[in-house]
Amino acid sequence: MDTRINLPQSEMPTKWYNPLPDLPTPLAPPLDPVTQQPLTPDKLEPIFAKALIEQEMSPDRWIAIPEPVLDVYRLFRPTPLVRAKKLEEAIGTKCRIYYKNESVSPAGSHKPNTSIPQVYYNKREGVKRLATETGAGQWGTALSFACSQFDMACTVYMVRVSYEQKPYRKILINTYGGEIFASPSMQTETGRAMLAKDPDCKGSLGLAISEAVEDAATHADTNYTLGSVLNHVILHQTIVGLETEQQLKMIGEKPDYLIGCVGGGSNFGGLVAPFLPRKLAGENITFVAAEPKACPTLTRGSFRYDYGDMARLTPLMKMHTLGHAFMPAPIHAGGLRYHGDAPIVCNLMAEGLVDARAYYQKECFEAAQLFLKTEGFLPAPETSHAILSAIDVAKTAKPGSAIVFLYSGHGMLDLGSYDAYLRGDLTNFELPQEDIDSALSLCPNIGG
Amino acid sequence: MDTRINLPQSEMPTKWYNPLPDLPTPLAPPLDPVTQQPLTPDKLEPIFAKALIEQEMSPDRWIAIPEPVLDVYRLFRPTPLVRAKKLEEAIGTKCRIYYKNESVSPAGSHKPNTSIPQVYYNKREGVKRLATETGAGQWGTALSFACSQFDMACTVYMVRVSYEQKPYRKILINTYGGEIFASPSMQTETGRAMLAKDPDCKGSLGLAISEAVEDAATHADTNYTLGSVLNHVILHQTIVGLETEQQLKMIGEKPDYLIGCVGGGSNFGGLVAPFLPRKLAGENITFVAAEPKACPTLTRGSFRYDYGDMARLTPLMKMHTLGHAFMPAPIHAGGLRYHGDAPIVCNLMAEGLVDARAYYQKECFEAAQLFLKTEGFLPAPETSHAILSAIDVAKTAKPGSAIVFLYSGHGMLDLGSYDAYLRGDLTNFELPQEDIDSALSLCPNIGG
């Protein structure tokens, strides 16, 4: 049997799946950050494309993918589903392990699945420039790639610790035609205020979001885009799960475990959401979310309303949070350093539909090196969490189980972190409970 | 129609094609560097695996690929053939342009096609360590990847100018378990002698080959491997052309032009060789070799016997050469900075079967950026020569022509060179004729 399952391009999904109508309990509505009342769509219009706001709240189960978006998807989609036989042999499992390889996109990760439609819709509505934040740089790269496809200007605020660890990200974003600033930056009020307080501040996703939102809010021709967390982002990412479902069907395989790493939740959400109806109908599919112990949102966070960003500019969302003021340790999986999680993922978690597991970064790098040694490819540090989780699951799963994990990105631009790993310079961060308590004490107290 | 043509893994070629028996004139034999008499196979045994020496001189048209090699090939092969529609539209051509994407391998280039069998045969013959040189780093990465698959120690001598330009290469090779030295190094007599003469020497492929050959010759458990030039390397690379032929057949397409960049000639040779019988039978297929003006071996070199390395340790081979003492300018396409070319490619060139074209590096980076803007992917600087050549060919080709170029590698580890390009720091090197004349005057004078 082929170890790589290629879906013909002619069978690529032409609709995204929207899990909102299928959630067992309705999603708690986002709240206005000032009035704390349910948000009206018009409040989002200054910084988001109307089409995306509609998708954010859409009751429709299926949403057609516009042809110009499909056209760019076809540059790299469908992506292969791969049987990791050498990894299976190395760990001596009797399970079958598959990985859905999203690293084959131009930007090297799953992120273009949503950057492409986000740029498309903004372009269609006359927006001239998009501002965003990026952690490890995957989202910033994906947005600049999509902007180059649609001739859109692009400004990226990159969390400073990652900006310094990954110098090639800046060059790649520039080569795609985007501009990039280390966050906190001098470009925004929020950035300048933070630098005045702490000139050595290493930044966080929450802070970088504040900068990008402020940039968009203060420039009429500029909108904001987010690479994770929001419903429309997970909607776009469902193409990953939909393809995976077709590919598994091609080989007569039913998944027992679906695994993704979780930062904001978009790759995990995009993989598992299309399987939600089957799970709710009684199929025994376990959704496993892998997160870092240094930022254990799902495993140790509180399920409550919180802001999406440090400066409290975003709507309040009900999610598992470590508090919007939480500043995670500088682990190398920069894309997993977010204080909250996608409301859709948290909704599933709260319903007991997600098995969340937290890992130390050294273990993750060890799993990454085993993957490199067996399957040959170099994973992104974020992706290594999903790999370790797949190995972890295989240890206790029933022999014969089918384990599918999402290979969210390659690590070619993260080699600095592998250098640190090889030199023995990595720290395993364990978060003291009092840090969580103190950050959570700053959260608004809404609805108990 | 699908823009990506995937060959099912079950139809992956299981034999390599050996062009030696089909060459219109027999290949001039390699000569002993000391006696200048035809080389006997036993002279190669101290540094090469016996199976590879056999393949080097084999009269067999087809050679079976061993199952353990196929097994590693399956980690990434067959590679996709892709219709570059957006590139076609951007340049307004009426030709169809395809690229065979070898960048999808773990090492990010076509090089694993030969590193995998080379390591396999050496392992089978009891060799414990392999030494090699690398220019841009693609070959060193590919060898360290293959060594990690077969548990073999690996030592890489990397041309210093590239070692300094591409720091991530070192880390990646280390992560695969290989060791790496900037060449000239203090590890060998050759390296130490060069450093004594010129402590700032930036190195060359010819010099790095000398170091690796010396390392292998002076250690009983160590063999040498070469990533290009030799017949067995092109043999292994023919899997690229064989797959391409099957993929074109799948869509009912006949190639009018086959294009590859040429450094040592392995990716170009591997693409075109399987089409040689059809070309000799009268099919109108043009083989286009794209090389840098800074190292114009095929377009301005002399077709004669010369050494493969600077220290004159290797056999003499009849090839287009700029002289083994030639030190090319530090262009960013480090993999194309070789003074000679594969004897098989040169044989075809001398027979008038190859259309060789030379390009400046700035034009190549412009073509790379156009490819990035249209097809989305970041090419290696070497690969950009093939892209520019495809655009160049499309300008004058008959409308409706099918142009296939080899996308030999991605540029994720070459971002330093894109930074230089964006900053306007690239130089277009034009080689003065007296430099060529002076280097050629040091070549041995054999057979006129």
Q: Which residue has the tokens 């890992």?
A: A359
My answer on whether A284 and A390 are in the same domain is yes
B124-145 pLDDT tens trace: 999 999 999 998 899 999 999 9
Last residue of a domain, one of B196, B224, B252: B224
Q: Which of A74, A148, A372 sits opposite B176 (nearest CB)?
A: A372
Residues A259, A323, single domain; the answer is: yes
List of chain A residues with pLDDT < 70: 447-448
A-B C-beta contacts closer than 8 Å: 110
- Distance between B142 CA and the closest CA of chain A, angstroms: 10
Same domain, A89 and A43: no
Closest residue in B to A378 (Cα–Cα) = B106
CA distance B364 to chain A (A): 14
B135 near B109, Cβ under 8 Å? no
- Percentage with pLDDT > 90 across chain B: 89
| Strand bridging mode B257-261 / B286-292 | parallel
pLDDT of A205 reads 82
Residue from B211, B284, B197, B231 nearest B20 by CA = B231
Element (H, E) at B307: strand B302-307
Among B76, B177, B369, select the one facing A175 at the smallest CB separation.
Answer: B369
Contact A168 B4 (CB under 8 A): no
Interface test with B, best of A72, A148, A412 (most B CBs within 10 A): A412
CATH of the domain at B360: 3.40.50.1100
In this structure, is residue B445 part of a structural domain? no
pLDDT of residue B268: 98
Best A169, A374, A377 residue to mutate vs chain B (most B CBs within 10 Å): A377
**Shared domain check, B219 and B161:** yes
The pLDDT, as a whole number, for residue B241 is: 98
Residue of chain B whose alpha carbon sits nearest to that of A369: B175
B154 in the same domain as B298: no
- Predicted confidence at residue B289, as pLDDT, reads 98
Q: What is the pLDDT at residue B134?
A: 93
pLDDT one-digit tens code per residue, B81-105 = 999 999 999 999 999 999 999 999 9
Q: Which residues contact A377 (CB under 8 A, 6 or more apart)?
A: A103, A371, A407, A410, B75, B106
Residues of B with CB under 8 A from a CB of A: 2-4, 6, 8-10, 72, 74-76, 86, 104-106, 108, 145, 148-149, 168, 171-172, 174-177, 369, 372-373, 375-378, 410, 412-413, 415-416, 418-419, 422
Q: Within a domain: residue A19?
A: no
B418 interaction partners in chain A (CB closer than 8 Å): 171-172, 175
Of residues B215, B224, B134, the one with CA closest to residue B170 = B134
A174 CB neighbours in chain B (<8 A) are 419, 422
As a dihedral over the C-alpha atoms of residue B360, residue B361, residue B364, residue B370, rounded to 10 degrees, the angle is -120
CB distance B106–A412 less than 8 Å?
no
Cα(B17)–Cα(B108) distance, integer angstroms: 23
Contact A175 B418 (CB under 8 A): yes
State residue B332's pLDDT score.
86
For B106, which of A168, A174, A377 is closest by C-beta distance? A377
B112-124 vs B138-150: helix crossing angle, rounded to 10: 40
Q: Which residues in chain B are closer than 8 Å to A75, comparing Cβ atoms? A: 3, 86, 375-377
Phi, psi (degrees; rounded to nearest 5) at B19: -75, -10
Domain end among A201, A224, A247: A224
- Among the partner-chain residues B3, B105, B377, the one whose CB lies closest to the CB of A74 is B3
- Among the partner-chain residues A4, A8, A172, the one whose CB lies closest to the CB of B2 is A8
Q: Is residue B448 scored above 60 in pLDDT?
A: no
Asked whether residue B243 falls in the same domain as residue B288, the answer is: yes
- Asked which of A224, A253, A271 is the last residue of a domain, the reply is A224
- pLDDT for the residue numbered A128: 98
Domain span at residue B199 reads 28-64+110-224
d(CA A130, CA B106): 33
The domain total for chain A is 2
Between A381-390, B206-215, B277-286, B323-332, the lowest mean confidence (pLDDT) is in B323-332
pLDDT in tens, B339-385: 999 999 999 999 999 999 999 999 999 999 999 999 999 999 999 99
- Tell me B20's DSSP state: G
- Angle of helix B189-197 relative to helix B205-217, nearest 10 degrees, comes to 140
Cβ distance of B9 and A10 shorter than 8 Å:
no
Nearest CB to B104; choose among A104, A145, A176: A104
Same domain membership, residue B436 and residue B408: yes
B103 and B212 co-located in one domain: no
Give the pLDDT confidence score for residue A359 in this predicted structure: 97
pLDDT of residue A96: 98
Are residues A149 and B376, on separate chains, in Cβ contact within 8 Å? Answer: yes
Same domain? A168 vs A88:
no
Q: Looking at residue A158, what is its pLDDT?
A: 96
- Cross-strand pairs, A132: A156
B418/A6 CB distance under 8 A:
no
Q: Where are the beta strands (DSSP E) in B65-146?
A: 81-83, 96-101, 129-134
CA distance, residue B163 to nearest chain A CA (Å): 15
Q: Is residue A18 part of a domain?
A: no
CB-based contact B175 A372, cutoff 8 Å:
yes
- Tens-place pLDDT, residues B190-201: 999 999 999 999
pLDDT at position A90, please?
98
Judging contacts by C-beta atoms under 8 Å, the chain A residues touching residue B422 are 171, 174-175
Q: Which residue has the higher pLDDT, A319 or B311?
A: A319
ipTM of the prediction greater than 0.90, yes or no = yes
| Residue B182: inside a domain | yes
Q: Do B243 and B391 have their domain in common? A: yes
Q: What share of chain A is helix, strand, coil (3-state, %, to 5)?
A: 45, 20, 40
Pick the residue of B99, B412, B425 with the most A CBs within 10 A to test the interface with A by mutation.
B412
pLDDT of residue A389: 98
> Is residue B71 in some structural domain?
no
- The token duo for A5 is 């399952």
Given a cut of 80, is residue B235 above it in pLDDT? yes
Nearest CA among B130, B142, B327, B348 for reference residue B228: B142
Residues in chain B: 448
Runs of H (alpha helix) within A309-405: 343-350, 361-375, 381-396
**Which member of A104, A376, A416 has the closest CB to residue B145?**
A376
For residue B30, name the pLDDT band (cuts at 50, 70, 90): very high
Q: In chain B, what is the straight-line distance between the N-terminal and C-terminal CA atoms, in Å? A: 54
Distance from CA of A247 to the nearest CA of B (A): 14
**Regarding beta strands A286-292 and B81-83, do their DSSP bridges make them parallel or antiparallel, or are they unpaired?**
unpaired
Residues of A in contact with B378 (CB under 8 A): 106, 172, 175
% helix, strand, coil for chain B, step of 5:
45, 20, 40
Å between B3 CA and nearest CA of chain A: 7
B91: in domain: yes
Q: State whether A42 and A191 are in the same domain.
A: yes
Residue A446 counted as domain residue? no
Is B431 contained in some domain?
Answer: yes
Task: Tell me, yes or no, whether A161 and A277 share the same domain.
Answer: no
All residues of chain A having their beta carbon less than 8 Å from the beta carbon of residue B10 are: 2
Given this model, what pLDDT does residue B204 score?
83
Predicted TM-score of the model (pTM): 0.96
Residue A1: its pLDDT value, please? 76
Q: Nearest residue on chain A to B143, judged by CA atoms? A: A376
pLDDT above 80: residue B447: no
